Amino acid sequence: MTNSVLSAATVLAEEGHHVVNELPVQPIWFAIVFMVVFIILSFVVASFSGRGVTRSEASPSELSENEQEALAEYAKTRQG
């Protein structure tokens, strides 16, 4: 049993290096594609971020007390 395992291992070792899975493209293209996708997704996420934007149609009287205080505090920091 041991001899057959060793002889099989010897035969496999003599055949040399064998590539099991070849990539469809060069590895650098994976990095480029994923970086472009990441940048596009970061722009999508940033476009939904409305921090610091006050809409003129939003009346401060319709906001809750906490929101009015936060808006007043934000206005103070923006003015100086």
Instruction: Supply the pTM of this predicted model.
Output: 0.41
Q: How far apart are CA 47 and CA 41, in angstroms?
A: 10
- Residue 45 belongs to a domain: yes
pLDDT digits (tens, 9 = 90+) for 25-56: 898 999 999 999 999 999 988 888 776 666 66
Phi, psi of 59, deg, nearest 5: -85, 130
- Residue 54 belongs to a domain: no
Number of domains in the chain: 1
Which residue range(s) make up the domain with 42?
A: 21-49
- Residue 67 belongs to a domain: no
Q: Say which residue, 66 or 10, is predicted with more confidence.
A: 66
| Residue 29 amino acid letter | W
- Residue 35 belongs to a domain: yes
